[in-house]
Structure 1
Amino acid sequence: MFPKTTVSTEEDKFHIGGDIIYVDDRTRVLNHFDTFGIFDQWGDIHPHARKLHGIYHEGTRFLNRLELRINGQKPLLLSSAIKENNQVLSVDLTNPAFSDCNMPENTVHISRSQFIRNGVFYEEILLANYGPTSCALNLSLQFGSDFKDLFEIRGIERKSKQPKCELLPGDEKIVFEYKGLDDITRRAEVKFEDTGYQIKRNLCLYTLELEPQEVQQIHYSIFFNAGDSELETIKYTEVKNAIREEQQTAHRIFADIVTSNEQFNHWVSRSKADLLSLLSQTRYGMYPYAGVPWYNTAFGRDGIITAMETLWLAPEISKNVLLFLAQLQAREVIPEKDAEPGKILHETRSGEMANTGEVPFGKYYGTIDATPLFVMLAGMYYERTHDRETIVEIWPNIKMALFWIDEYGDIDKDGFVEYIHKSENGLTNQGWKDSHDSVMYENGDLCEPPIALCEVQGYVYAAKKYGSLLAGIFDENELSGKLSTEAGNLKKQFNENFWDSELGCYVLALDGNKKPCRVISSNAGQCLFTGIVDEDKARMLTDTLMNANMFSGWGIRTLADGEKRYNPMSYHNGSIWPHDNALIAYGLSLYGFQEESLRIMNALFDASLFIDLQRLPELYCGFVRKANEGPTAYPVACSPQAWSVTVLFMLLQSCLKISINASTKTIVFDKPDLPAYLEKIHVSKLMVGEHELSFDAYRHEFDIGFNVIQKPPGWEVIIKK
């Protein structure tokens, strides 16, 4: 029916290899909007070939070297941490022993405070002498730049020879400049606030005389410019004060959550801070960038799912996501970008290789699921907020997305949405598992396109259900009825064609000839939260997902142990993704399987306790849980990753079973349950319309108690037990 395709190593060209490492596994990450930095524990950056250390801006590594030395030696490390607000890297160092000046170690305390703000890196260095006599020190800062594109660091070879980076001569500042193949000039300018320094090419040297108990300070900043843009010079202290003020403003978009468990409270605080650090100001409003380092840009699917995970307590994020994606919706057929009218963006990038077309991701639409997810989010957002004004604004975009589903998404007009990539340089697989080998038959052979993924049919079902709801509010009754009928037909057809009673699971996909991929995968679990699963199949599917070959103790694997391509160390074929688990847990709670939903919540909370900063990464390995050991890390996982750090909020929604419907002015807790480690949850400042909701939930031995402290006037709070 469809031509046979072959798989080559080229199809795995966007895989991130394990040989791209962080120098060591104890790195520190700072990020703000389009700029992020990867440092070692000392606050340094090392120029090691393809290693990841560096400060990146708009997809390019502007700085690949930043090394502080005292009297030519590396200081001794005392402590290093990202502060709780996720904005500042705080490092405490001291001097090694200097025999030439008779200075014992631990005499001088060196404090480094670093942060990134609006395309600028700032550092404050404080030196305090705790010795009994004065001491003379030479402090040096050495800088370097290579202006490598992020995709080049990921391992993709350049098609043309890269121009060289230039170090411009100067006595007052250090400037690196590079004119790329895209004709954009990029510059990194190191500027120093204080006096008493000397510049020698890429080295800045301070000669300091410290009296006993004296403290001296050094301030400098690095400006990252692309094109004609010029960044305003603002002093370190002024920027730090501005950060505090904006942090307070940003936190207002979230409800406050406090529990009886301090470790859980830290998880809440860390998750909130991580998401705020990834919320980036764009031309179309704030948007959650996907993750550092590989995906520090706008992704359609990632942004939508992050919005869904936070919708109940921070609906403004969903509004911004919808408005952003509506603006970038495809308007024409562009095969090299996998773009078609009505299709929602997969990702957008602004680095040199994207600008020159060496990679297709400048503005790329190779995703099969972002479009139905966009419509689904719009319906969920309307139910949550009754924000008619926003829905009116994007209603043409919603209708275009629904048009794309039928006209372009359903390639062979069989009622299912499937994909085959059209861009020669694009993604082969276009679901959320977009590795080249993530869709396979039971014998391990790769699936022949066009491919209809099981969870995508669930997204389409939900999109048509919500599309019907939204059409109704515009009195487009014919469209509303049509979408409702189509949703019902799709659910029936899906359960007939995708369900495999022998597996006790929905098959992963159907190929172009409607041959099923009879493997057990987590994709089937995501069908639950869309509502496409028949009630009589939900119990069996739940048992399959929670079986030991899927549930490792740290969460549900992407692929069952025992399948031909199972590998717990793979990206998509046996690993564990927190966001995947949160969506499954939420779906289980909707079908009444609260015990299983809580098992997933418990697993992810336990995993967070073993992970640095209690920050759940993009993914971790799918090995079986061992006593007194944490989950095994995946070597190049993004962290922070937006849809991972926000899983906590969807898990809380799942256990509280809270639904907020602004159309009916009801807040429902439908048979909630709390894990054993949470005796109490206090939620306050949860915005419902123009008013706030505050409540306490208590765990008793056989029941959950509630105390509604504040509710919006005219609203009803319903607690079902």
Structure 2
Amino acid sequence: MAATPRRPTPADPCPDVTTQPGVPSGVCRDLPPDLGPDAIGVLEGRTFMFSDASGNVPRGSIGGLVHDDTRFLSHWELTVDDAPLLVLSSGTVDAYSAAFFLANSDLPHLPANRVGVRRQRFVGDGLHERVELRYFGHEPVSIRLRLTAGTDFADLFEIKESGRDRGPDIVREHEPDGSALAFAYRNGSYAASTRVEAQPPAEHIDGDALVWNVHLTRGQQWSCELRVPLRSGEEHYRPALRGFGEAFDHGPEDPSTRWAAEKPHLHADADLLSDVYHRSAVDLVSMRIEKRIAGEPVVLFAAGLPWFLTTFGRDSLITAYQSITCGPDVARGALIVLANHQAKTFDDFTDQEPGKMFHEYRSGELTQLGLKPYQPYYGGADTTSLWLILLSEYWRWTGDDHLVCRLRDNAEAALRWIDHYGDRDGDGYVEYATRSTQGLGNQCWRDSPDGVQYADGGIPVLPIATCETQGYTYDAKLRMAELADGPWQDPELAQRLRVEAAALRERFNRDYWIPERGGYYAVGLDGDKRPIDSMTSSMGHLLWSGIVPDDRAAQVARHLMSREMFSGWGVRTLSTADIGYNPIGYHVGTVWPHDNSIIAAGLARYGHREQANRIAMAMLEASRHSGHRLPEAFSGYDRSFGRQPVPYPTACNPQAWASGTPLLLLRTMLGLEPREGRLDADPHVPDELGTIRLHHVPALGRRWNVDARRSECTVSPAAKP
């Protein structure tokens, strides 16, 4: 019997709101409409602050200060004499901080632009903001500066949707001397509080506002400091900053400190490559999450700003793979954290099955009270195979037999999940179909409602077996066979896994290959085992995994680089020839940098180095138009449509695997692989980039210097610092 469709139609206007049976649909409120196109976000670890271009968070908007999936400020508004301030310029200084240059608007007693206002903001161990006034009028003036604050303590899932009003349950205990506003909330075992501290104290408090009466003469300056401390002392939350210009010193053995300090040094003829590389490194450090597992400090990356500053299994694993050339600590952290939460039992609400690696971890009120399934949620069909791939990649780059042997039981449990629970009907493929009333319908990386569809735009029935998941499974089994031959010393297991991988490869190439349209791979099989015939970028993931026979690789490469798939800025998620194509559809026509980094690596694996370089250069050139930072996705319009990529309106920015993209592209261009006790390189560097020097690359317990130009290269052991 066919499964029942459980996803909205492609016309669903809000792909970010899950609509499942029994779950009411939320009100879609995506960034940036109510904050404006110049919305500004700063982030650090698991904390972010989003505001409009003036630095304000209007009441009722989706902006605010969010930490650990809870919004601690939902209203933050600065005015002079109750009038809004004029924006002269504003923007981020780095991932952690922003500056806003403002002026007074026209007032009855004060012409516009007489009072210059500068707001400096950063997030570290909370929100810090400095407000400075400078007066340029002739006559002395008195103004009323008001900072209005408020909080709804909304769960992150409620910020973009309609949530319940906690107002009646929020207790206010503001300091009568004007030094602080204080808000507190409790719901059963869940509690949260917000405290806005001011120095100097306000003259008085008016409702939820701090009010200063400021008297200025020409040339006079006035300033105040505002601080909103957040819950700290948690093992997973150690901020990088604690005051203006003050950095926390976690010591040289701190994983984040070590990763940032020990990443390879890049010297390139092309400033573009250097700028993108360094921006990616800074953004990745800003998204780090630190934990302590069984007393061991570990670090891994959150998925992205604003809605995904938490651990996502798929994102964290792929980002760790992309960034392995910068050091193994992040890969090690991702492996240990996911292994620590590997499922051991069945649970329908969380889509949990023994051996499965989790998809998403949340810690907001709705999750803590058991109303959401995210502590953690296991609705990802590909995460378990990706964990195995990263385990192998970590070993190849480090030779760390100890960790690989320590995690063997987890690896074998993951393999059992693939064979028994991931393969729901015994046909040899890993499928997905949620059992949860709040589960994801699509449990691959194309997880929007219409992310997997037929060429005619129809939505397939569940369960679905997507093509790239089978590729990951094939690669994972071969890699585990390598570990079985090596540190596990289990040749019988190695032989069995290689036989299973070979059978999967043969079966896959029979069932997923579609001879029409020049021959290509279906994006998946539906619940009736019919090929889902849309032409997608997932074919590039198949090249990365190695499941494609050599005689078909050229056909796949031609499709990926065709006008229907390659926009000029990158490979689209869906061919323009398919009915569902939409250049601003989340997974149906946009260009995703992380997707393209995997495609480029896959093309290079099969010898299509020129095509891989076209993608690499397109990505680098696209970053030039966004401050050398690649966003989560951008629109799939053809490059001839405009002089720069058209932004995707609600893209995460920064996002971890987008920031990891330049690192994997660099590795692909240099052809870096650890082999037989040394680091090898097989470069194919685009002429536009000239000479690339990547020094102090960590591999196999030592450092290596790589100097490359075109196809020429030298690799030598680096001198010890």
Amino acid paired to 2:492? E
- In the aligned structure 2, how far is the partner of 1:289 from the partner of 1:139? 37
- In the aligned structure 2, how far is the partner of 1:638 from the partner of 1:301? 16
Amino acid paired to 1:263? L
| Match in the other structure for 2:680 | 668
Q: For residue 564 of structure 1, give the secondary structure of its aligned residue in structure 2.
A: coil
| Match in the other structure for 2:71 | 61
Q: Is the 8 A contact 1:461 1:530 kept in 2?
A: yes
Amino acid paired to 2:415? L
Q: Are 1:485 and 2:499 counterparts? A: yes
In terms of mean alpha carbon deviation, does 190-199 or 127-136 score higher?
127-136
- In the aligned structure 1, how far is the partner of 2:333 from the partner of 2:40? 29
| Match in the other structure for 2:438 | 425
| Match in the other structure for 1:508 | 523
Q: Are 1:258 and 2:251 counterparts? A: no
Q: Is the 8 A contact 1:312 1:659 kept in 2?
A: no
With the length of structure 1 as denominator, give the TM-score of the two structures. 0.90
Amino acid paired to 2:50? I
In terms of mean alpha carbon deviation, does 638-647 or 256-265 score higher?
256-265
Shift of 1:551: 1.0
In terms of mean alpha carbon deviation, does 61-70 or 673-682 score higher?
673-682
Amino acid paired to 2:344? R
Amino acid paired to 1:262? D
Amino acid paired to 1:60? T
| Change in 2 beyond 3 A, CA 1:266/1:691 | same
| Match in the other structure for 1:547 | 562
User: 5+ residue gaps in structure 1?
Assistant: 714-721
- In the aligned structure 2, how far is the partner of 1:91 from the partner of 1:248? 29
| Match in the other structure for 2:698 | 687
| Change in 2 beyond 3 A, CA 1:677/1:130 | farther
Q: 1:658 aligns with which of 648, 654, 672?
A: 672
Q: Is the 8 A contact 1:163 1:178 kept in 2?
A: no
- In the aligned structure 2, how far is the partner of 1:232 from the partner of 1:279? 10
Amino acid paired to 1:653? R
- In the aligned structure 2, how far is the partner of 1:693 from the partner of 1:30? 35
- In the aligned structure 1, how far is the partner of 2:551 from the partner of 2:678? 29
- In the aligned structure 1, how far is the partner of 2:166 from the partner of 2:104? 43
Shift of 1:254: 2.0
Which runs of structure 2 are paired with 1:179-328 in the superposition (5 Å)?
179-180=186-187, 183-195=189-201, 197-210=203-216, 213-225=219-231, 237=243, 240-242=246-248, 251-284=260-293, 285-328=298-341
Q: Is the 8 A contact 2:41 2:50 kept in 1?
A: yes
Shift of 1:99: 5.7
Q: Is the 8 A contact 2:129 2:227 kept in 1?
A: yes
Shift of 1:382: 0.3
- In the aligned structure 1, how far is the partner of 2:158 from the partner of 2:341? 26
| Change in 2 beyond 3 A, CA 1:249/1:139 | farther
Which runs of structure 2 are paired with 1:465-614 in the superposition (5 Å)?
465-472=478-485, 473-503=487-517, 504-611=519-626, 613-614=627-628
Q: Is the 8 A contact 2:484 2:493 kept in 1?
A: yes
Residues 11-40 of structure 1 deviation map (CA, whole Å, 9 limit, x = unaligned): 397899465534201011111222211012
Amino acid paired to 1:355? Q
| Match in the other structure for 1:459 | 472
Q: 2:89 aligns with which of 76, 79, 101?
A: 79
In terms of mean alpha carbon deviation, does 703-712 or 37-46 score higher?
703-712
Q: Is the 8 A contact 1:279 1:289 kept in 2?
A: yes
| Change in 2 beyond 3 A, CA 1:570/1:237 | closer
Q: For residue 332 of structure 1, give the secondary structure of its aligned residue in structure 2.
A: coil
- In the aligned structure 1, how far is the partner of 2:241 from the partner of 2:139? 32
Q: 2:629 aligns with which of 604, 615, 640?
A: 615
- In the aligned structure 1, how far is the partner of 2:591 from the partner of 2:439? 25
| Change in 2 beyond 3 A, CA 1:7/1:57 | closer
Q: Is the 8 A contact 1:123 1:236 kept in 2?
A: no
| Match in the other structure for 1:46 | 58
| Change in 2 beyond 3 A, CA 1:688/1:218 | same
Q: 1:115 aligns with which of 114, 122, 130?
A: 122
| Match in the other structure for 1:717 | none
Q: For residue 574 of structure 2, give the secondary structure of its aligned residue in structure 1.
A: coil
Q: For residue 618 of structure 1, give the secondary structure of its aligned residue in structure 2.
A: coil
Q: For residue 267 of structure 1, give the secondary structure of its aligned residue in structure 2.
A: helix
Residues 200-225 of structure 1 deviation map (CA, whole Å, 9 limit, x = unaligned): 33111223344555444311211234
- In the aligned structure 2, how far is the partner of 1:493 from the partner of 1:15? 41
Q: 2:173 aligns with which of 168, 171, 183?
A: 168
- In the aligned structure 1, how far is the partner of 2:276 from the partner of 2:171? 44
Q: Are 1:441 and 2:450 counterparts? A: no
| Match in the other structure for 2:688 | 677
Amino acid paired to 1:165? I
Shift of 1:456: 0.7
User: 5+ residue gaps in structure 2?
Assistant: 10-18
| Match in the other structure for 1:92 | 101
Q: Are 1:398 and 2:404 counterparts? A: no
**Aligned-pair Cα RMSD in Å:** 2.9
| Change in 2 beyond 3 A, CA 1:558/1:42 | same
| Change in 2 beyond 3 A, CA 1:214/1:683 | farther
- In the aligned structure 1, how far is the partner of 2:540 from the partner of 2:660? 19
Q: Is the 8 A contact 1:174 1:201 kept in 2?
A: no
Shift of 1:554: 1.8
- In the aligned structure 2, how far is the partner of 1:5 from the partner of 1:502? 26
Residues 349-397 of structure 1 deviation map (CA, whole Å, 9 limit, x = unaligned): 1112223343322310011000011001100110011112221222211
| Match in the other structure for 1:716 | none
Q: Is the 8 A contact 2:44 2:240 kept in 1?
A: no
With the length of structure 2 as denominator, give the TM-score of the two structures. 0.90
Question: % of aligned pairs identical?
Answer: 31
Q: 1:126 aligns with which of 132, 151, 160?
A: 132
Q: Are 1:36 and 2:54 counterparts? A: no
- In the aligned structure 1, how far is the partner of 2:437 from the partner of 2:220? 63
In terms of mean alpha carbon deviation, does 349-358 or 36-45 score higher?
349-358
Q: Is the 8 A contact 2:104 2:112 kept in 1?
A: yes
| Change in 2 beyond 3 A, CA 1:68/1:551 | same
Q: 2:387 aligns with which of 364, 371, 374?
A: 374
- In the aligned structure 1, how far is the partner of 2:498 from the partner of 2:30? 50
Shift of 1:177: 1.9
Shift of 1:169: 3.7
Q: Which has the higher contact order (CA 8 A, sep 6+)?
A: 2
Q: For residue 57 of structure 2, give the secondary structure of its aligned residue in structure 1.
A: coil
Amino acid paired to 1:477? P
- In the aligned structure 2, how far is the partner of 1:620 from the partner of 1:227? 38
- In the aligned structure 2, how far is the partner of 1:300 from the partner of 1:635? 25
Q: Is the 8 A contact 1:189 1:222 kept in 2?
A: yes
In terms of mean alpha carbon deviation, does 471-480 or 355-364 score higher?
355-364
| Change in 2 beyond 3 A, CA 1:403/1:92 | same
Shift of 1:621: 1.9
Q: For residue 462 of structure 2, give the secondary structure of its aligned residue in structure 1.
A: coil
Residues 230-284 of structure 1 deviation map (CA, whole Å, 9 limit, x = unaligned): x999996477343899986552142222322233322222211111111112344
